[in-house]
Amino acid sequence: MKVLIAGAGRLGTQIAQVLGASHNDVTLIERDDDRAAALRDTLPARVEAGDACEPVVLERAGALTADLVIATTGEDEDNLVISLLAKRQFAVDRVVARVNDAENTWLFDQRWGVDTAVPAAAPLVSLIEEATSAADTIPLLRLSRAGVDVMETSISARSRAVGRALADLSVPAGTVIAAIIRDGRPTAPSPDLVLATGDEILVVSHSATEDEVRAVFQ
C-alpha cells in the first residue's frame, strides 16, 4: 500500500514507523526543513520537505498514485485542506484526518474529502486501524520487545477460507488464531468453527509475516 502522511509530529512519525515497518511504501511530508532533514534515514519511510497544503508538494510526494493519505498536522485547517486536495484533485481512495479541536469535528466529513476523522485523543493503534481498514491484513499492534505481532485479516467472498473450518487451515509455525469477530462480536476460535464472509480473524505470531498470514485466509 502506498501511503502519504502529512505532518511529521509525534503522531505522524509513529504512524510512518509502524506502516513502514509493515512493508508499506510510506512518504512523510514535513514543512519544517530542519525537522525533515533530521528524520531522514531514521524512519522506514521517505521524507519530503514542503507544505502539504500545496498541490505541487503532494504531487511530488506521490499523491497521484497514493492509496491512502493521512493528515496529522496540528492544525485542523491544514488537515482539511490536505484532505480536500487529496480527494478532489488527486482522487485518493482513502483519506484519514486528525481532528485536533473537538469543536471542529462536524467539518471533517466527505464534503472536505475526509473518509475517516480521528480524534486527537485516539490511541495510535486505533488510528492505524482506521487508516488501513481498506487493507485485508494489517498489523494492529507490534510488540517489538516481546517479538510478537498481532494482526487482523478479513474474510471476503473471494477468500479461499470461506466455508472452511479452522481445523482445516494450516497456519504458520509460532502462530495462533486468537479470536474470530463475527457481526461485531468476538467468538472463541474452536477447531470446528466454519469461516464466513465478513469474519475478522485476530492472529498472534512471533515469526509469521503478513504475506504468510494472508496466504492462509485469502
Q: Tell me what percent of the residues of the chain surpass a pLDDT of 70.
A: 85
Question: Mean pLDDT over all residues of the chain?
Answer: 84
The most confident of the ranges 13-17, 49-53, 210-214 is 49-53
Q: What's the pLDDT score for residue 113?
A: 95
Is the pLDDT score of 157 beyond 90? no
The reported pLDDT for the residue numbered 116 is 87
Question: What structural domains does the chain harbor?
Answer: 2-131 (3.40.50.720), 137-217 (3.30.70.1450)
Residue 145 has pLDDT above 50, yes or no: no
**pLDDT at residue 78 tops 70:** yes
Look at residue 143 and tell me whether its pLDDT is greater than 60.
no
Quickly state the pLDDT bin for 214 (edges 50, 70, 90): confident
pLDDT of residue 127: 60
Examine the pLDDT at 49 and tell me if it is beyond 60. yes
Confidence of residue 98 (pLDDT cuts 50, 70, 90): very high
pLDDT at 129: 56
- Higher per-residue confidence, 1 vs 2: 2
- Per-residue pLDDT band for 122 (boundaries 50, 70, 90) equals low
Structure confidence at residue 71 (pLDDT): 95
Mean pLDDT calculated for residue range 163-178: 86
Alpha-carbon span 95 to 17, nearest angstrom? 19
